[in-house]
Chain A
């Protein structure tokens, strides 16, 4: 109450001394000298006074560390795909962007070798990531300053996830627009990290996906070479089924390790498995969501195979193919498991994972407008998570009431 007696007094005091009464006492208590002051060697500065080594900052950096395999494989693969495309298209094929930069450092994009491929990938990835980091971090900083809040490390992870999910040909201004939408409307308006209900990187991606379909899901966006338009594996299968892949000599192992065209970092299911093992063993993410996701995907794939076989091209695709395709592994490990937006109950996590897995197959097989539905499925999962939690909690309350009734 601004009109209360106490606040009137406080205003009076602060007008005279430039400080509130409580401020002065705080100074006294903080000097920490004299017999009445005991201060432990370790102390926390704000409530809640959790003294766990595993604080929020470490949590975020561990997630970032788990992304490193996907990042390295993705960088190498981006350069590798550029080389493949240049070789297959012949002499008149040209790089889209950064061609002169690569020439000036004396790197042949056509046959760059292992390290060279990674450098080519780096040349394409760094601008995208820097823009995402500057814009995302800028919004975080702006909101923190304007609202008097702390900046948190969450934004570093958000920008990395966002940049890794973009196709290499994405225009930088769209990176800025998508990151702004994701960070501001997906996070900052709710009060920042931990207070939102959707993964901010996901919000930005889905926004770009619907707003700029030409740069996000065309068949020519996945490799930055002019004239290349083979599409990601799912695009090729949407018309020709699995035979279209076998004809071009791509095996399941290629798809699993990620030597296929796609976004910067989401291609390698193997790298995501490495990340997932780290995260699950550190108990950063819930294994129930991962298991539920793969289970839901498998059940839906088998159901499509037995009931809709022959109706749609992807219906007969085996579940172990589905796991490696598109951004399923990447999305499930790094987006779906976000503890803020996933359900908080264990049973809810199973349901949530299965919902995401099943929706992925449904969108892939039955929805002709989207070739890969993983991000949409996860967004739908995020939206349903509170409702799932509600029903799980209510069922639990009812069961216990019956048991102890």
Chain B
């Protein structure tokens, strides 16, 4: 039931995730952050089986950090995404695979280009301009399809986010308590308030 989507511009990515932690029909927590900072310029957003998501994301976080320490150099977003896909593909062929869907957002520090990767629980990966996971995808994809233009500005990106959230409020029976909106750009990661955008 998680809502997770992201929009990539030329040098930024906006990542939006809901902050509810739920079990069956009960909401356990209202302020749960479903994103993980992998490096100063890479963010991993997860949804899926609650235990799996945290466990797998922390495993990835640890390994990406280990790489940076060993090589005194961060993995680029594309390298990070490929590494995650590779790990998930390995897990998928084990006896107990992780059930995790992910969005990897980042800015390459060599080229300054932003990129967004969508990885699902079957370890299928695609580099995309915008992406969504879970039930919320049924609602926000049409909005993003309609409004996305290549090379959009941050403000235009926020407008799409607002329309996506409106669509979710209007049509989705699940009521989300709050959303965490993060922007990854060349300056690093910044969190925005709903009222700010």
Asked if chains A and B come from one complex, the reply is: no
Chain B residues near A (Cβ < 8 Å): none
